[in-house]
Amino acid sequence: MLDIDQIKEILPHRYPMLLVDRVLEADPEEKIVAIKNVTANEHFFSGHFPGHPIMPGVLIIEAMAQVAGIGLLQTVEDPEEKVPYFGKVDEARFRKPVKPGDQLRMEVEILKLRGRMGKVEAKAYVADELVADGKLTCFIQDK
């Protein structure tokens, strides 16, 4: 549904912090599904961990928050004048390591929208295995 160039028009993030490669489906008031292709060239693998590279859990959470931000920005007027912020994470769980070559599929379900604030339930999968999940609070601010 959205390729990387369209995502860059929505999110302010850029390399190395842009962690969404494609949006597969988007119903901003219901659910957003996106992917991140995890390559061996990711900058964090050189130190996390040498000889046993795994994607840091905090970056998996950030990727899910970016997906939530894409959805939330689609619910406000003048989204090009706004920026999404990550406010809170609850009940985060990391179930399996994410390694180079994996494709991270993130599914973000909107639990509550109130003005410029949204609460979501976010899940990340590799293939069909749940690797991380949590509840995130994000909000939209003027640039």
Render pLDDT for 62-98 as a digit per residue (tens, 0 to 9).
999 999 999 999 888 899 899 999 999 999 999 999 9
pLDDT single digits (tens) 102-135: 999 999 999 999 988 999 999 999 999 999 999 9
Q: Is the pTM of this model over 0.85?
A: yes
Q: What's the pLDDT at 115?
A: 85
Q: Determine whether 48 is an active site residue.
A: yes
Q: Which percentage of the chain shows pLDDT scores above 90?
A: 92
CB of 113 closer than 8 Å to CB of 29: yes
Whether the link from the prior residue into 49 is cis, omega within 30° of 0, is yes
Residues in the chain: 143
DSSP 8-state symbol, 29:
T
- Bridge partners of 124, per DSSP, are 106, 132
Contact 17, 3 (CB under 8 A): no
**Beta strands at 117-126 and 82-94: parallel, antiparallel or unpaired:** unpaired
Which domains are present in the chain? 4-142 (3.10.129.10)
Q: Which one-letter DSSP state was computed for residue 110?
A: E
